[in-house]
């Protein structure tokens, strides 16, 4: 590896990391699937210790040819990793795939876990990265479908009017402490049985949202039924920069309130709000193995799948 140098990333590297990922995405997908804000937020995240959990690889000319990061999901034995190497740089890719796995083992030891699970998201169309995952012992686990609705020609584009909640149901944005704590409660309960869910304390949940440059508490809506927290939708500006679309990051309904139409109510309310902001549409991601019939809900309101990202995982046991 004498022709390469390896260092640690800092927030000052955001632009060149973005350029590296955008160029790779364009080669695979025809366009970038990342925004500069995504990279900035990752480098600022409290989840990462950049002095230990991230890597930059440069060639002899000083050009960035590789970048990777890994961290524990909520202190659990699940480790979320990202590996990016310039198209065609197999040596760099192998170096980084090995680095994230070695570091996951170190973090597991630090946290007292006997082993763990490394998780990497790979675009379904990315044959190159999938081949590296297989070579390093990873296998596919679940798939995330990116759903999108475009407002042109719909009632949302014409009026932007939100639906009226049914009797006994009221909606409340996330600008109050009560609503935020209710949103946290709903999120933890509604996703408890989902794939790789890790419960976290309220303080960590709050800090995660507060630290994101694309988060906006006014785009959080809690539905109360007879003044009891029942369902939540959390939107953000994650896809505004590159797609001019709103984003539904979370849509959850507490188990005892399912089947009452609250998920549909909040989803359509989010559409109307995005249309009123002048967005072209709304985007969200859904786990294909979701324990609720979420995919059917999204297609029933006019959303369509525009991209599939597969989760590739490798379980390890410490010696």
Same domain, 23 and 124: yes
C-alpha distances in Å from residue 29, one per residue of 32, 122, 255, 270 = 7, 12, 38, 28
What residues form DSSP beta bridges with 281?
150, 245
Q: What is the pLDDT of residue 1?
A: 53
| Residue 313 lies inside a defined structural domain of this protein | no
What CATH number does residue 73 fall under?
A: 3.40.630.30
Residue 315 lies in a domain: no
Q: Is residue 318 part of a domain?
A: no
Average pLDDT, the chain: 95
Tell whether 131 and 202 lie within a shared domain: no
Question: For residue 99, which of 197, 4, 208 has the smallest C-alpha distance?
Answer: 4
Is residue 40 assigned to a domain?
yes
Domain count, the chain: 2
The span from the CA of 157 to the CA of 213, in Å, is 27
The reply to whether 200 falls in a domain is yes
- Look at residue 317 and tell me if it is in a domain: no
Please identify, among 105, 137, 169, the residue that sits at the C-terminal boundary of a domain.
137
C-alpha separations of 190 from 74, 114, 199, 251, 316 in Å: 17, 28, 11, 9, 29
At 285, the pLDDT band (50, 70, 90 cuts) reads very high
Boundaries of domain holding 192: 146-308
Same domain, residue pair 46 and 132: yes
Mean pLDDT calculated for residue range 256-280: 95
Out of 137, 155, 180, a domain closes at 137
Q: Give residue 159's pLDDT.
A: 66
pLDDT of 292 > 70? The answer is: no
Q: Is the pLDDT of residue 295 over 90?
A: no
The answer to whether residues 113 and 152 belong to one domain is: no
The mean pLDDT value for 198-226 works out to: 96
CB within 8 Å of 42: residues ≥ 6 apart: 48, 69, 82
Would you say residue 297 has pLDDT above 80? yes
The closest alpha carbon to 136, from 88, 87, 81, 86, belongs to 81
Buried b (16+ CB within 10 A) or exposed e, 69-80: bbbbbbebbbbb
Report the pLDDT value the prediction gives residue 157, as an integer from 0 to 100.
75
Asked if residue 121 and residue 26 are part of one domain, the reply reads: yes
Question: Does residue 166 form part of some domain?
Answer: yes
Mean pLDDT within 8-31: 97
Q: Is residue 250 part of a domain?
A: yes
The 10s digit of each residue's pLDDT in 142-198 is 999 999 999 998 888 766 677 889 999 999 999 999 999 999 999 999 999 887 899
Q: What average pLDDT does this structure show over 38-57?
A: 94
**What is the pLDDT, as a whole number, of residue 291?**
60
């Amino acid at each position: 590896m004498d022709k390469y140098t390896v260092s640690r990333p800092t927030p000052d590297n955001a632009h060149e990391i973005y350029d590296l990922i955008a160029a790779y995405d364009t080669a695979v997908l025809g366009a970038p699937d990342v925004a500069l804000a995504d990279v900035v937020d990752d480098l600022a995240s409290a989840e990462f210790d950049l002095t230990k959990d991230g890597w930059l690889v440069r060639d002899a000319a000083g050009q960035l040819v590789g970048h990777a990061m890994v961290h524990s999901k909520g202190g659990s034995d699940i480790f979320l990793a990202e590996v990016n190497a310039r198209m065609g740089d197999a040596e760099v890719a192998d170096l980084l795939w090995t680095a994230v796995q070695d570091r996951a083992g170190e973090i597991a030891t630090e946290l007292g876990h006997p082993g763990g699970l490394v998780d990497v998201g790979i675009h379904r169309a990315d044959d190159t990265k999938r081949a590296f995952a297989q070579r390093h012992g990873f296998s596919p686990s679940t798939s995330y479908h990116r759903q999108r609705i475009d407002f042109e020609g719909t009632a949302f584009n014409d009026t932007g009017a939100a639906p009226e909640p049914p009797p006994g149901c009221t909606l409340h944005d996330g600008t109050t402490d009560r609503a935020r704590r209710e949103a946290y409660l709903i999120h933890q309960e509604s996703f408890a049985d989902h794939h790789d869910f890790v419960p976290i304390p309220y303080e960590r949940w709050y800090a995660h949202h507060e630290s994101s440059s694309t988060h906006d508490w006014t785009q959080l809506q809690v539905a109360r039924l007879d003044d009891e927290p029942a369902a939540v939708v959390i939107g953000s500006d994650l896809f505004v920069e590159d797609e001019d679309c709103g984003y539904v990051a979370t849509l959850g309904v507490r188990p005892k309130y399912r089947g009452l139409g609250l998920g549909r109510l909040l989803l359509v309310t989010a559409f109307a709000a995005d249309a009123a902001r002048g967005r072209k549409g709304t985007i969200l991601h859904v786990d294909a193995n979701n324990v609720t019939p979420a995919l059917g809900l999204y297609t029933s309101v006019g959303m369509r799948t525009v991209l599939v990202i597969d989760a590739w995982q490798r379980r390890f046991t410490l010696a």
